[in-house]
A = this chain, B = another copy of it.
């Protein structure tokens, strides 16, 4: 085994173990302890964050920020990573802002000038048109980490000018219409709530509360799990030929397009109560090319909205 290979495999092994001793590694790799000490010195110089303790029950640990063995990407792969990071730029706040800066730096050190030019040119030649976020939102990373690790957090949360303290366990985070939301289990209400991330004022880990098991709850199934079936309803919308063409190029969860021979069609499926407002404006944008048949609530909401706007201009 070459030295370079041994170092790579050592990075992976130390990443895997919580603690380890020099003796352990020497046996694992079939080299002397002295060589392991030298290798660990070299990993340290490479940026692997090693921490050692002497004495009984001593040994080595890796600090939190683990380093991967070096990976050789192709330049197309590097460009595509820049593309993906670029695609996120209209989100003013992301859980990984710091990481994206360091990633860009690491790549730029290794890219030849002509590929850097290509990437710079690409930034002006790709766009994703959607809502741009305006507000800077702290704590996204903590919320996402807490959701992944199933940690309990104590937050201060602002509603209607007042700040209250809440103890929550996040399920995840999602971005919608310019805002970030965090559905969580709220220990205060002993129920599930959705929190707006821009209203969270402070955040800290709360280890006095035992987390509940949310491993079977995800963003996708959170509503069905939470016994909110009453809030789901069937939808049926008639579409003209043009309406069909417009709807055809997008994919809404749980909405299905049925086409007729003449080119017209209809949408059927299941929607949730909290989507009523959004869907009413969505189908208003179809004009005469969509006609909502049910649910009643969606028709009423649409009419209500129409009348409110009409009153503005008459």
Contact = CB atoms under 8 A, between A and B. Distances in A.
B132 A251 contact: yes
B218 A125 contact: yes
A129 B288 contact: no
A248 B125 CA distance: 28
B288 A249 contact: no
B250 A131 contact: yes
A12 B87 CA distance: 27
A270 interface: no
Given A81-B103, A110-B12, A112-B12, A306 B299 contact: no
How many copies the complex holds: the figure is: 2
Contact of A220 (B124, B288, B292): B124
Contacts of A121: 148
B102 A77 contact: yes
A133 to B, nearest CB: 7
A65 interface: yes
Interface of A: 4, 12, 15-16, 46-47, 65-81, 83-85, 87-88, 92, 94-96, 99-100, 102-103, 106-107, 110-115, 118, 121-122, 124-135, 144, 147-148, 171-179, 198, 218-220, 248-253, 277-278, 281, 284-285, 287-288, 291-292, 299, 302-303, 305-306, 308-313
Contacts of A83: 94-96
A309 B289 CA distance: 9
A134 B96 contact: no
Contact of A73 (B106, B129, B251, B285): B106
Q: What 5 A-B pairs come out closest when comparing CB atoms?
A: A70-B70, A125-B172, A80-B96, A124-B218, A281-B285
Contacts of A111: 68
